[in-house]
Structure 1
């Protein structure tokens, strides 16, 4: 096997479409620069909103809250600091300035039929896992295998459903399950010159069960996934890490002294050791 990084994806606005890049820098919180730097929240821009408040009326407008978010298409341009939005099936595209988000907030508020706003933070972004807030990892072979469980879903759609940051090639399906260990331990591994800590298999939400373009629920997606995941779980994986089998992808952390390093497509991946957390 020759594990290597074959894709890097970041999601500038949490829950919207990804941006692929050949090279990326790791920043505050261990995240990829620009990844989940912005989030849509369910209150107007004039209302206070504590960073990372995901409870009650102060929560994110994301796929966990509403399937409407799936029908928004987006294209983010970091060079001009703009985002272009449109909806599935529509040719009408509108570009918005991310510095002054007044027009963007108005477009989204009209779309969701409630007052919403896009917030930004430099302090670690808006990851789903505040403890293991580094890039998420999956292999191409895993995506292919999981797609084979569903006759009407191809690999690209499965990639969009699971929304990983880093994709590994040159390995068999579920190889990334080697990147975590028992409770209270982590697996140290290196991508290029940057060290990571593999923490746990990612617990999935309702998002992968839906068509990423329409938000329509795929019948029996979770039931089929759980059954096949249990059947195909590698023998060397500790089943104690699976209180349920609706888990796929690896959550990571990045040590403080590795932040602000760079990773790039083509970087080799090396497992180093398992250590106590």
Structure 2
């Protein structure tokens, strides 16, 4: 079947709410891409921290090295830490992501101190162990899917045309990083993703579950951490349904394996 859509970008966000990584290929797992939002910063009460209350998080960039994460300030690459993928203290902590309680493990006090210093508040870095099963909201799950520390769904897909459409209405255009997608595809009309029920990307199938409701995080400049009113204000003027401003579609993976930039995105019914 011919596809007008191609995978343009793949993004992984290893530590929830910090800068994402653009990759050329990624392993699709049930919880989301391999390494995607498997780490998270939590406050002393175990509640997750995000840019909503700490915009400064935008200025911390994460890179994937062969066996570890590298984290540094976007404006000072020399001051960086290396977090081995398999590093944990083994100490279990109950953490909160919205309404979900999840068992996580602490990583290392050295990293807690580094992040606390950078963000000016007391935080701890935790990791999701393989044994943790955080369920996708049963209202939306297809087969009892699980999810990482992401807000609610393992995957988010957005068409580049949708962003182009939004930018045509803004005085100052915004980059795609405001919306934190996992997969961006090229081709087609704006908001083509809204009409998709299921897609095949490369050899793998995904089910499109529901539109993604957007929040103030989209108004934070990912380079400067400055907060404004756009693009949420303009988006709300033509993408509001009920009380929600919609942009992008949440998905679950129906199969696991690898996808890469350039793969066709084919609609399947």
Q: TM-score, length-normalised on structure 2?
A: 0.78
The runs of at least 4 consecutive aligned structure 1 residues that moved more than 6 Å come to none
* Contact 1:85–1:95 under 8 Å retained in 2: yes
Mapped to 2, the partners of 1:90 and 1:24 lie a distance apart of 27
1:177 Cα shift? 0.9
Distance 1:64 1:109, change over 3 A: same
* Contact 2:199–2:207 under 8 Å retained in 1: yes
Distance 1:89 1:7, change over 3 A: closer
Aligned mate of 1:134, from 154, 165, 176: 154
Which residue of structure 2 lines up, in the alignment, with residue 35 of structure 1? 36
Aligned mate of 2:21, from 19, 38, 55: 19
Which residue of structure 2 lines up, in the alignment, with residue 184 of structure 1? none
Which residue of structure 2 lines up, in the alignment, with residue 3 of structure 1? 5
Which residue of structure 2 lines up, in the alignment, with residue 115 of structure 1? 122
Aligned residues: 230
1:171 Cα shift? 1.4
Mapped to 1, the partners of 2:22 and 2:75 lie a distance apart of 22
SS of the residue 1:60 aligns to: coil
Deviation sequence 1:143-174 (CA, Å, 0-9, x none): 122122222234xx2x1110100011121211
Mapped to 2, the partners of 1:4 and 1:221 lie a distance apart of 25
Mapped to 1, the partners of 2:47 and 2:18 lie a distance apart of 16
Which residue of structure 2 lines up, in the alignment, with residue 272 of structure 1? 268
Which residue of structure 2 lines up, in the alignment, with residue 203 of structure 1? 213
Which residue of structure 1 lines up, in the alignment, with residue 83 of structure 2? 97
Mapped to 1, the partners of 2:157 and 2:10 lie a distance apart of 10
* Contact 1:96–1:104 under 8 Å retained in 2: no
Moved more, 106-115 or 188-197: 106-115
Mapped to 2, the partners of 1:82 and 1:102 lie a distance apart of 16
Which residue of structure 1 lines up, in the alignment, with residue 247 of structure 2? 248
SS of the residue 1:76 aligns to: strand
Mapped to 1, the partners of 2:157 and 2:11 lie a distance apart of 10
Mapped to 1, the partners of 2:69 and 2:206 lie a distance apart of 31
Pair 1:263-2:259 in alignment = yes
1:91 Cα shift? 5.6
Distance 1:220 1:191, change over 3 A: closer
Q: Counting strand residues as a fraction of each chain, which structure ranks higher?
A: 2
Mapped to 2, the partners of 1:127 and 1:97 lie a distance apart of 20
Pair 1:143-2:163 in alignment = yes
Which residue of structure 2 lines up, in the alignment, with residue 125 of structure 1? 148
Deviation sequence 1:128-154 (CA, Å, 0-9, x none): 11xxx2310001111122122222234
Q: CA RMSD in A?
A: 2.0
Where in structure 1 are there 5+ consecutive unaligned residues? 44-56, 180-186, 231-241
* Contact 2:29–2:253 under 8 Å retained in 1: no
* Contact 2:214–2:244 under 8 Å retained in 1: no
Q: Counting helix residues as a fraction of each chain, which structure ranks higher?
A: 1
1:67 Cα shift? 1.8
1:115 Cα shift? 2.2
Q: TM-score, length-normalised on structure 1?
A: 0.76
1:216-231 to structure 2, matched below 5 A, reads 216-219=226-229, 221-229=231-239
Mapped to 1, the partners of 2:75 and 2:207 lie a distance apart of 41
